[in-house]
Amino acid sequence: MTAERLRAYFPILTLVALVILVGTFDTSFLRIENLMQLASDVTTLFVMALGITFVIYIGSIDLSAQSLASMTTVIVSSAIPVIGAAAVPLALLIGAGFGAVSGLIAVKTKIPTFIATLATAGIAYSIAQYVSGQKGLSIDVSLRESWLGWSFGNIGPVPKEIIVAGALLVVATIVERRTVAGRIFKAIGAGEAGAISSGIQVERFKIAAFAISGALAAMSGLMLAARLSGGSPTAADQFLLPAIVAVLVGGTPLTGGVGGVVNTMVGALIVAVTRASMVYLSIPAQGQQIFFGCVLIVAIALTIDRRKVRTVK
Amino acid sequence: MLELKEVDKSFPGVHALKKVNFNIAHGEIVGLVGENGAGKSTLMKLLYGQYQHDRGEIIVNGKSVRFENPRQATELGIGMVFQEQSLIGNLSVMENIFLGQEHAFVRAGIVNWRAMANAARKQLAKVMLDIDPKRTAETLSFVQRQMVELAKVLTLEERVKGDLVILLDEPTSVLSRSEVNLLFSLIRNLRSRASFVFVSHRLDEVLEISDRLYIMKDGEVVDILKSSEAVVESIQHKMVGRLINREFYRESKQEPFNPNLRLLRAQDMSLTGHYEKISFDLHAGEVLALVGTDGSGREEIMRSAFGLEPLTSGDISTGEDEITKHTAAESVRLHMGYVPRERKIEGIISGLNIFENMTLGNIKHYSRWGFLCISSERALAAEWIKKLSIKTPSEFADCGNLSGGNQQKVVLAKWRIAGSRVILLDHPTRGLDIGAKEDVYDMVREMCADGCGILLIADTLEEAIGLSHTIMVIKDGRVKKTFDCAIGKPTLYDLVHHMV
Amino acid sequence: MPFIRSFIERETLRRRDFLLAGAYGLGGLAASSVLPTKAIAAEEMAVAWSYRDRSNPYWNSIAAGAENFTTDTLGRKKEALTHLINEGSNAKSLADIKSFVAKTSGKCAIGCDPNDSPNCRPVVEAVKGGNGYITTIWNKTDDLHPWDIGDNWVAHIGWSGLEPAENTATLLCKAMGGKGGVVGLGGIAANIPAIERKQGMVNALKKFPDVKLLDYQAADWDTTKANAIMSSYITTYGDQITGVFCANDTMAFGAIEALRAEGLAGKVPVTAYDCASQTLEYLKKGELLATVDQNPYWGGGVSLALAYYAATGKFKPSDEPKAHREFYGPTILITKDDADAFKKKYVDSMPKYDWSDFWGPSNGQIQYNRY
Amino acid sequence: MPRSLSNNLLRQFVPVLVLIALCIAFALINPNFLSVKNFARIGILAAPTLLVAIGVTFVIIMGSIDLSMEGVVAFCAMVFAKVFVAYGGFHGWGWTALILAVIVGATVGLVGGIAQVWLKIPSFMSSLSMGYIGLGATFVLSEGYRISVEDPIFRSLLTQRVFQMPYMVYFAMIALLFALFIERFSVLGRNIFAVGGGEEQARASGLNIARIRALAFAIAGLFYGLGALLSVARVGIADETNGSNMMFTSITAVVVGGTSLGGGHGGVLNTLVGTLIVAVIGNGMVVIGLPSYIQSGVLGAIVIVAVALSTNRKTIRFIK
């Protein structure tokens, strides 16, 4: 009983245990500015995961986030010189639009979201390549300062990325726990049949969830573009699976309904620490993926709440 | 050969079987009748090893046994034909028949389909079903599925030495008369080998086929009699048991409804394969009961009315305005509320707590600019918890952990909160204990008093009679008869007479 | 704020769980504390190389060079060199480098390929922030220069793809007898080398008016992808294809195997770029016409050496001319004839390099906007 | 009833129709597409993917998902190459490596399956982790260097042809028949369908679900092993990229072929069609000279259309 109730805390506990573990190997890891650094590096991944959380929360999945983020870096890099600040909302809008389209396709044609989003990902990638002219683009330093300054550099000791990500987390948490949309997402994830017979327009809110995911993917793209002061069609490569892993390890199962954005923050940090630990524990190059794989299995085995999932597929 | 002694079984909130004694001799056909919730299905599932009994003992061929799972029961020659379909849709008929026993047909790792097909044909021949055993189950009609299930059970003949006991749970509810005859001749032919327990709502059929008759009521065996001596009316009275306590259904609180205020009108609703040309009006303060056997189409009628099932023709309107798009969302917008039979799946959402469930019906009303007013939600929930005396630690409790009765109260509260004018109750008291039932009845009356109209599919006939102003008897998807209770309430017999 | 209050109420309900949680955490602490803790040698200057992955011989030679510097010159164990594998992820590349700088509190020298040209700025800025020393190779944007960042970014080494690609392409056209059709397989389109090498080929084709470029598509440095595209080329152009230009050797392998499937291996000349051991085999078999070696072994060693000696104050980068802060590495054109010689000199036994002679083999300062 | 039935029947053939339509379309734009030689090329392109896709088909029919193929294929390829070369190819005992690779694949799959069943973790995560581990193990073996396999007998899979088709195509076909056998004529194969169709009822009929799940993953691994062999045969080199892009390609192929991710429906023949569709698109887009940057977009669009056509909206209540 208590063990089951305790389970809600397993993600955070796993994180704490990991940090302590690495810390005892190499105390310099525990230096506050270092931990802060660690956090700021994972922000782009986290923001993407944040979006994906909403989709997984309703029991679907979004594989287009990575391509959307890459596309955004390209769009921003090429748009900023022309339209300046407007590029930022534009990018977010495009992201949200793309997400909504994925949702719409899935809902209307009843294609599993796994495939629908995979397909839209391909489309996004093509657009990115076309817009970029298949080159790496760079944003002029001054432009970057003036339009993307909000997402890099520090305020005092704190990296702005952390502040931005933190703000997004707060907003997402409010959306999840304090808004009608959040409540309905939870209802859909926990019991779609019940939600339908309660007269909820499930399809509409599913599309909304995908739109949010798209917008946040675009957001992570923006932050990436700011960090790289440029963009390329492959800028966000290797983001997707870690992002999904972050969501799942955080304790939001693929079946949806439980967990949420705060869990995802923990999950993202777990991923970050795991990666950093490879440097700190000086895991040999060949061993790193094996290490990551094993940590993954252990982490998920610890954090998943089996009561919520009847048959584990 | 099979005997139950003082068997007791209870579920949270329900005492399903009370000291039941039951026995069946070799080659005997025993009828088992009783209203829904009388404990028939529980008894069957005990015999089949799906449930385990709490007290008492089950004796097979003189040995006391305790089945941990259906497989053990099967090995002792006890098989069950389920009321709800238990075939796997994407598998072929023969695979369904021999699921779990394929190894009998394997040579050197290769499944010999021809052999299995032949064996399957043999089984199908037993039930006079002439279909290609290679057909996938989902392409079969309801009737065919029912027969295949029977055929699947009859594999016991080959598999098990010695006597068999075959449990038939409502096997005839979806069958036509001719098919019923077939089934019966089949059963008679098998008597040499097997004894049967036959559960059905159709009393005439039970009397026709069975040697002895067990009548159950509220988890107890109230009478055992020889079919040859039994008369339908007497049985019905025994099924109903105690003289209907009028107060049980709060009949003193039953007010005449307002015929001038129509809340819902159905005109010639039809859904191919389920029901045809159904028309009715529902007025403020009226309880309209749809009465019929399972599979008579009454559930579909209700689900169509709420927009969960489509309409092939006909139309529905609330008060003045026509319902154009048939979706649950639209119905709720037009102040309809549905209390489904599948409470755990469609009624409450487990994983959401009480107030989250309660306000789901008109969540917008408990939010400002899309932001929830959780404090007011909680206040509201607390209020309803007190009002309906819902047993729960707090309004934060997960609805999945509540007892059936309390879950039902939450669902009802949801629609009351949503301000629904038309309430569709599908087996509202299924599986509830007496106290919870009475609470539900109170709410029904209360809702009528508030000018709601209620479309009811009652759990028992007496419940239908007790609660309703109007009763429509549905048979094979058509309205067989309509009773206006204002003139005088029909007796159970009147209803059963038209139902079967 | 009722929200906060209700939240706190809920949390306090779970106080007991939380105590248990604490116990769990302490358990983790206990478990971890029994493990041997490794103190970092603070006095030693840590060395690391950050590159894409271990699946590519190019990066292995880079690592080998760096390891040689670590062992022979610094006289440490091979393991003293930390490998930061970015798996093609900008974020990971940056994160790893930051972690490493933080771990060594700035006492570190790093050789690095930023993986994606835009990623160069954040990397060098991060290293500067942690006061470490870094030499980058390959990927950086044109508007970014070491002398703008300062001493912490010691130097950037590039390998001009232009002239060598022009040379191989010229050989290709000659082998084709100055006429016919060429198909090209390019790298990831956004990568600088991919762009330069394509440009080099285009320049060469200018000299041969009768040689037509039939098609040029990106195969993303990927053998399998190159294989698929090549076979499609054969369908589209059939006999028109009399020469194949590949932007690196891994793609050339794919192309040659596609030709082999048609029994054309060795009949249609193919040029590659870079030089793994297999590449030499293909050369000797005559299935590959020519390739270019960029001596990654030297690049890996010298870039680390630059960072190291700058970090230890052996020289001050800002005193050096720009030609010493941004310069091209050496390249060697290899054909069938000198394959064996090359193998003997560079593969079987690596030449002894004086790692402190940074600029000797250099091909001059990096130039921009040449195409 | 009969009308919807005929619809279903039609729907089953949608993938084939899509395939034909694509071929016609490409052929109209560039007649060269419709040459036996080109189909041979498509065959070479599709063969390794087909085997991997067949493997994952079994898992998907069961209602689970497998994302480990990239790692497992790379690992099997590396094991094969190392052993094969070390023992002197077909002149020595090297040929045993062929069997070894398959065994290794099956074992890795089994381990992943058991982990999934025992730890009760979603196959999505367990298989993903197995993928990472597989890649890592590949590095450990290869130390980052490529192994080239030049044994002429082995390479004859690519170089030798019968009826203008290289051996590897026939190899793939034989493997397909084997898969077909498992699907249609083995108890395990049928039980996999049962689990996918209704796990509860299957359990009620006394099937050992855990065992079936683990074995299904083992079968998948076995076919990944076979796929690895062909991927080495195709490029003559074993390295970590042998499995690259196979994850999404193969799953796409399976779904485009008409096997539903929900489980219970479809089969390896669907997967054959699906793989061909994907391969034809890949080959055709280059053949008709589509610029490389829009190719992934076009692929995405076609996939949506193909799957949309072959899904029966009536039967699906929720989409996941």
Let me know if residue B125 belongs to a domain: no
- Total length of chain A: 313
Q: Residue B357 and residue B359: Cα distance in Å, rounded? A: 6
Let me know if residue D128 belongs to a domain: yes
The chains in contact with chain C, meaning 3 or more Cβ pairs closer than 8 Å, are A, B, D
Q: Which residue has the higher pLDDT, D310 or C166?
A: C166
The answer to whether the CB atoms of C261 and D148 lie below 8 A apart is no
Chain A stretch 268-297, residues whose beta carbon is closer than 8 A to a beta carbon of chain D: 285-294, 296-297
> Among B292-296, D35-39, D61-65, D77-81, whose mean pLDDT is lowest?
B292-296
Contact between B461 and B450 under an 8 Å Cβ cutoff? The reply is no
How many structural domains does chain B have?
Answer: 2
Q: By the CB < 8 Å criterion, does D160 face chain C?
A: no
Cα–Cα distance list, C148 to A138, C101, C303, C322, D272 (Å)? 17, 21, 19, 11, 57
Mean pLDDT of C322-336: 90
> Could you tell me the CATH number of the domain that includes residue B433?
3.40.50.300
- Point out the residue among D185, D193, D206 whose CB comes nearest to the CB of B100: D206
pLDDT at C23 over 60: no
Q: Give yes or no: residues B153 and B217 share one domain.
A: yes
Q: Are strands B275-284 and B258-271 parallel, antiparallel or unpaired?
A: antiparallel
In three-state secondary structure terms, B435 is helix
Q: By the CB < 8 Å criterion, does B378 face chain C?
A: yes
The answer to whether the CB atoms of B374 and C10 lie below 8 A apart is no
Q: Tally B–C CB contacts below 8 A.
A: 7
| Per-residue pLDDT, A281 | 81
Q: Give yes or no: residues B297 and B401 share one domain.
A: yes
> Which range in A274-278, B239-243, D256-260 is most confidently predicted, on average pLDDT?
D256-260
Mean pLDDT of C149-174: 91
One DSSP character per residue, A257-313 reads: SS--HHHHHHHHHHHHHHHHHHHHTT--GGGHHHHHHHHHHHHHHHH--GGG-SS--
Nearest to residue A310, comparing CAs of D114, D64, D192, D199? Answer: D199
Please tell me which residue of chain D has the smallest CA distance to B74.
Answer: D205
Choosing from B203, B225, B240, the residue where a domain stops is: B240
Residue C36 tokens, joined: 């041997």
Contact between B287 and B448 under an 8 Å Cβ cutoff? The reply is yes
Let me know if residue B121 belongs to a domain: no
**Which H helix or E strand runs over A184?**
helix A180-190
Mean pLDDT of D253-265: 88
Q: Which residue has the higher pLDDT, B248 or B7?
A: B7
In three-state secondary structure terms, C75 is coil
Contact between D84 and D151 under an 8 Å Cβ cutoff? The reply is yes
Interhelix angle C15-33/C2-13, nearest 10 degrees: 60
The answer to whether the CB atoms of C261 and D32 lie below 8 A apart is no
The chains in contact with chain D, meaning 3 or more Cβ pairs closer than 8 Å, are A, B, C
Q: Tally C–D CB contacts below 8 A.
A: 106
Q: Residue D76 and residue D71: Cα distance in Å, rounded? A: 9
**Mean pLDDT of all residues belonging to chain B:** 84
Residue B119 tokens, joined: 């064996």
For the stretch B457-474, pLDDT in tens is 987 787 888 888 999 998
- Domain residues for the domain of D57 are 36-244
Mean pLDDT of A171-192: 92
The answer to whether the CB atoms of B90 and D265 lie below 8 A apart is yes
Say which residue the tokens 């259906």 belong to. B70
**Phi and psi (nearest 5°) for A270?**
-60, -45
Mean pLDDT of A95-116: 92
How many structural domains does chain D have?
Answer: 1
Mean pLDDT of B382-391: 87
**Which chain D residues have a beta carbon less than 8 Å from that of C51?**
none
Contact between D89 and D247 under an 8 Å Cβ cutoff? The reply is no
| Per-residue pLDDT, C31 | 44
Query: Could you give the percent of chain A with pLDDT greater than 90?
Result: 41
The answer to whether the CB atoms of B88 and D187 lie below 8 A apart is no
- Point out the residue among D41, D158, D239 whose CB comes nearest to the CB of C235: D41
Task: Name the minimum distance, in Å, from the CA of B312 to any CA of chain D.
Answer: 14
D8 — pLDDT class (breaks 50, 70, 90): low
The answer to whether the CB atoms of B91 and D205 lie below 8 A apart is no
DSSP code of residue A95 = H
Q: Are strands C108-112 and C46-51 parallel, antiparallel or unpaired?
A: parallel
**Phi and psi (nearest 5°) for B288?**
-110, 115
| Per-residue pLDDT, B245 | 57
Q: Residue C179 and residue C241: Cα distance in Å, rounded? A: 11
**Which chain A residues have a beta carbon less than 8 Å from that of D129?**
293-294, 296-297, 300
Q: Which fold has domain A2-308?
A: ABC transporter involved in vitamin B12 uptake, BtuC (1.10.3470)
| Chain CA centroid to CA B12, Å | 19
Q: Residue C56 and residue D241: Cα distance in Å, rounded? A: 9
Q: By the CB < 8 Å criterion, does B396 face chain C?
A: yes
Q: Which residue has the higher pLDDT, D51 or C238?
A: D51
Q: By the CB < 8 Å criterion, does D193 face chain B?
A: yes
Mean pLDDT of C98-110: 89
Q: By the CB < 8 Å criterion, does A259 face chain B?
A: no
Q: Which residue has the higher pLDDT, C54 or D80?
A: D80
- Point out the residue among D1, D186, D197 whose CB comes nearest to the CB of B91: D197
One DSSP character per residue, C230-245 reads: HHHHHHHHGGGEEEEE
Q: Whole-prediction pTM value? A: 0.85
Task: Name the minimum distance, in Å, from the CA of D239 to any CA of chain A.
Answer: 13
List the domains of chain C with CATH numbers: 46-159+295-329 (3.40.50.2300), 162-293 (3.40.50.2300)
Contact between D136 and C49 under an 8 Å Cβ cutoff? The reply is no
The answer to whether the CB atoms of A224 and C91 lie below 8 A apart is yes
Please tell me which residue of chain A has the smallest CA distance to B339.
Answer: A197
Mean pLDDT of D125-146: 88
- Total length of chain C: 371
Q: Which residue has the higher pLDDT, B231 or C330?
A: C330
Residue D297 tokens, joined: 């977009």
Q: Residue B428 and residue B416: Cα distance in Å, rounded? A: 15
Contact between C164 and C189 under an 8 Å Cβ cutoff? The reply is no
**Which chain A residues have a beta carbon less than 8 Å from that of C25?**
13, 16-17, 20
The answer to whether the CB atoms of A288 and D126 lie below 8 A apart is no
Residue in D139, D143, D239, D280 to test binding to C, most C beta-carbons within 10 Å: D239
A46 — pLDDT class (breaks 50, 70, 90): very high
Q: How far apart are the first and last CA of chain D?
A: 27
**Mean pLDDT of all residues belonging to chain C:** 83
Q: Give yes or no: residues B236 and B270 share one domain.
A: no
- Domain residues for the domain of B30 are 2-87+140-240
How many other β-carbons are positioned within 10 Å of the β-carbon of residue D88? 12
Q: Give yes or no: residues B181 and B281 share one domain.
A: no
Contact between D289 and D238 under an 8 Å Cβ cutoff? The reply is no
Task: Name the minimum distance, in Å, from the CA of B390 to any CA of chain C.
Answer: 21
Contact between C194 and C187 under an 8 Å Cβ cutoff? The reply is yes
Say which residue the tokens 């195997």 belong to. C257
Q: Give yes or no: residues B26 and B168 share one domain.
A: yes
Task: Name the minimum distance, in Å, from the CA of C3 to any CA of chain B.
Answer: 8
Q: Give yes or no: residues B353 and B440 share one domain.
A: yes
- Point out the residue among B329, B352, B372 whose CB comes nearest to the CB of A179: B372
Chain D stretch 279-308, residues whose beta carbon is closer than 8 A to a beta carbon of chain C: 282-283, 286-287, 289, 291-293
One DSSP character per residue, chain D reads: -HHHHHHHHHHHHHHHHHHHHHHHHHHHH-GGGGSHHHHHHHHHHHHHHHHHHHHHHHHHHTT-----HHHHHHHHHHHHHHHHHHTTGGGTTTTHHHHHHHHHHHHHHHHHHHHHHHHT--HHHHHHHHHHHHHHHHHHHHTT--EE---HHHHHHHH-EETTEEHHHHHHHHHHHHHHHHHHH-HHHHHHHHHHH-HHHHHHTT--HHHHHHHHHHHHHHHHHHHHHHHHHHHSEESGGGGTTHHHHHHHHHHHTT--TTSSS--HHHHHHHHHHHHHHHHHHHHTT--HHHHHHHHHHHHHHHHHHHS-TTT-----
pLDDT at C7 over 60: no
D317 — pLDDT class (breaks 50, 70, 90): low
Let me know if residue D297 belongs to a domain: no
The chains in contact with chain B, meaning 3 or more Cβ pairs closer than 8 Å, are A, C, D
Q: Which residues touch B221 (CB under 8 Å, ≥6 apart)?
A: B20, B21, B22, B214, B215
The answer to whether the CB atoms of A285 and D139 lie below 8 A apart is yes
In three-state secondary structure terms, B290 is strand
Domain spans of chain A, in order of start: 2-308
A215 — pLDDT class (breaks 50, 70, 90): very high
| Per-residue pLDDT, B57 | 86
Residue in C14, C40, C76, C83 to test binding to A, most A beta-carbons within 10 Å: C83
Q: By the CB < 8 Å criterion, does A308 face chain B?
A: yes
Q: Which residue has the higher pLDDT, A38 or A135?
A: A38
The answer to whether the CB atoms of D145 and C222 lie below 8 A apart is no
**Which chain B residues have a beta carbon less than 8 Å from that of A257?**
351
Write the burial class of residue B23 (CB in 10 Å: 0-12 exposed, 13-18 middle, 19+ buried). middle
In three-state secondary structure terms, A152 is coil
Q: By the CB < 8 Å criterion, does C228 face chain D?
A: yes
**Mean pLDDT of all residues belonging to chain D:** 88
| Chain CA centroid to CA C50, Å | 9
Please tell me which residue of chain D has the smallest CA distance to C254.
Answer: D235
Mean pLDDT of D61-72: 92
Q: By the CB < 8 Å criterion, does A192 face chain B?
A: no
DSSP code of residue C312 = T
Let me know if residue B347 belongs to a domain: yes
Task: Name the minimum distance, in Å, from the CA of A291 to any CA of chain B.
Answer: 35
Choosing from B240, B256, B286, the residue where a domain stops is: B240
For the stretch A232-247, pLDDT in tens is 888 888 888 899 999 9
Task: Name the minimum distance, in Å, from the CA of D312 to any CA of chain B.
Answer: 14
Amino acid at D47: A
Mean pLDDT of D140-165: 86
For the stretch B140-157, pLDDT in tens is 877 788 888 888 888 888
Q: Are strands B422-426 and B336-339 parallel, antiparallel or unpaired?
A: parallel
Query: Could you give the percent of chain B with pLDDT greater than 90?
Result: 9
